[in-house]
Amino acid sequence: MIGRTQQTKDFTGKTPSTNIRKHERSKLQNWNDLFFAQRYCRLVMSLEEQYRRQYQWRDWKNVLDRCPIVSGSRILDLGCAVGDISEEILRRGAHEVVGVDGNASLLEIARSKCLEGLTLIESDLNTLEMLDKQSFDGIWCSFTIAYFTPASKASEILQYWKTFLKPTGWICLVEMSDLLNHDPMSQEHHEVIENFYEDAYEGGRYDFKAGGKLRSLLQESGFNVIEDLILKDDELSGTGPVSSDVVVAWQQRFRRMGKLQDMFSSKDLYEQFVQSFLLSLQSLDHISHCVVHALLASSS
């Protein structure tokens, strides 16, 4: 846990631990953008709107162009959420996409699209007995494998998913590493983040370093890696100030991260961390060390 330190309050009455120089504040719209984000975040943004914004920030075209989606193919979308990628795969010529997700609310949004060729199933990704073995030409899975921890569990699930691919099938995995590693940030907060990563991994909740492990996981599971890409992402990675919409997305993310809040000894200290992080995103010196990985592999 993080304790109290010497503090200097910002305009919100909270205390960011990362000092942003006064001349930066005048050059950037940091304060205005952050104020807008705080006001806007009080509104309830729909899940559909959140996913729509995130879809625009991801470099999906770069990785989907590498996937051998041919006319008439049958693709399995694991962790399909609101069906945005499923929709794009169908647009690229697939005959059928079977989307599987354990979140009923997300699947309801996907169903509202009324897409011809899209079959949606609510299920845990550990138990896919309703599907026929060796019946899919390809598997797509984005921002999902990190939930299978430790790495041995991730390898086991990949071997299980492989049984649903045809002998000539392919799999594409997209995952990130080091989500919260941004600068400028105090050493104190970097240490809290590393402790949070370790707690999440040891607790079997999430692997914040999963993206960097994709190649070894695929190889251990019997796949042959064909492409290994680093994807541009306007929300998660990059340098320099981010847009106001991205600031809003991060503030919403922090509201959902109860386990991260538990790493701090008080709610006020957590709010200080959040304010500091959001200001860092708006700094001219901002650097994200998060990396979004995309790997394409064949089943043989």
Q: Is residue 159 in a domain? A: yes
**How many structural domains comprise the chain?**
1
Q: Is residue 198 in a domain? A: no
Q: Is residue 33 in a domain? A: no
Q: Is residue 212 in a domain? A: yes
Could you give the CA distance from residue 66 to residue 88 in angstroms, rounded to a whole number? Answer: 14
Q: Is residue 142 in a domain? A: yes
Q: Residue-wise over 277-300: b if at least 16 C-beta within 10 A, else e?
A: bbbbbbbeebebebbbbbbbbbbe
Q: Strand, coil or helix: what is 116? A: coil
* DSSP 8-state class, residue 94: -
Q: Which two tokens stand for residue 177?
A: 């590493």
Q: Is residue 75 in a domain? A: yes
Q: What is the CATH number of the domain that holds 168?
A: 3.40.50.150
Give residue 172's domain range.
Answer: 70-183+204-232+292-298
Say which residues have a Cβ less than 8 Å from residue 60's Cβ, sequence separation at least 6.
85, 88
Q: What is the pTM of this model?
A: 0.85
pLDDT tens, position by position, for the chain (300 residues)? 444 333 322 322 333 333 333 333 433 444 455 444 444 444 445 767 888 899 999 999 999 999 999 999 999 999 999 999 999 999 999 999 999 999 999 999 999 999 999 999 999 999 999 999 999 999 999 999 999 999 899 999 999 999 999 999 999 999 999 999 999 999 999 999 999 999 999 999 999 999 999 999 999 999 999 999 999 999 999 999 999 999 999 999 999 999 999 999 999 999 999 999 999 999 999 999 999 999 999 998
Could you give the CA distance from residue 300 to residue 297 in angstroms, rounded to a whole number? Answer: 9
